[in-house]
Amino acid sequence: MEIALVGIGKIALDQHVPAIAASPDWDLAATVSRKGSVDGVESFTDFAELLERRSDIRVVSLCLPPVPRFDYAAAAIAAGRHVMLEKPPGASLSECHRLIDMAQAQRVSLYATWHSREAPMVAAAKAWLADKTLRRLQITWKEDVRRWHPGQDWIWEPGGLGVFDPGINALSILTEILPDAIHLTDATLEVPENKQGPIAASLRFAHPAGAEVGAVFDWRQDGDQIWTIEAETDRGRLELHDGGARMVIDGIEQSADGPALAGEYPRLYARMAQLVASGGSDVDLSPMRHVADAFLLGRRETVAPFHE
């Protein structure tokens, strides 16, 4: 199937373009970007022009920042195109629900992707936790914003999520592996005095069985980057490291079962192909709901200004 990629920035070039190129399901037929392009692929600077001139392209993958994404997705759906959304699926829950309604009305597929759920050991962690009683779970997600988001000023603006841009990856794993639903009860957001979005956050959740569940996100990490989830249960301890790439059970490193596809983004594009073929949609908003609750409930603390 032919697909158009909209928003040719770092994530598109690092992940989406290679995943599409390696996929047996997809052919990158066009791109839309004001600045970027892909060698050998037809490029547009105007999305409306793409929709008008390339009616043969039935699927659109949106890699834009969250704030402008709704208008592009709505236009694509109105034109009868299937839409794949980079995480987070939008700038607000309300606009995501609107896209769901539009996709249903137009009978097109809508896929809100959560790439961290496709990390090699996430499914294994979910299976291990399924029959155990959780006592404590702690997320530690600390990285250097200068390394992963250089010059991306939009992430500090309203709708850009700040540290929740990576933090929502942790929440997407959390909501995937836990057998019970949780909800946020308390949050502290550290906001640089020269920014709109938080640079760090700490969260506490209520668990139906009383387990202690918390998370710490920080964008000021020097040295080794930390993406860890630790869970203590009635029958052992689980650790997910490197964003779900590694799993340790009671101190013993576990081996992956050898997935048919290597990499998070190839698995996302394989899933999109399945959805288009079956006429289905997949839009789980639970990670985003926790972020919205953090902004609603969170106590804001002003911290030192941040400069790249």
The catalytic residues are 87
Task: Give the single-character DSSP code of 244.
Answer: G
Strands (E) across the chain are located at 2-6, 27-32, 42-44, 59-62, 82-85, 110-112, 134-142, 183-192, 200-206, 212-218, 226-233, 236-241, 246-249, 252-253, 299-303
Cα–Cα distance for residue pair 141/218, rounded to 1 Å: 7
Length of the chain: 308
* Strand order across the beta sheet in which 2-6 lies: 42-44, 27-32, 2-6, 59-62, 82-85, 110-112
Phi, psi of 243 (to 5 degrees): 70, 25
| Burial (CB count within 10 angstroms: exposed 0-12, middle 13-18, buried 19+), residue 76 | buried
What amino acid occupies position 136?
Answer: R
Cα–Cα distance for residue pair 270/177, rounded to 1 Å: 21
Cα–Cα distance for residue pair 188/294, rounded to 1 Å: 8
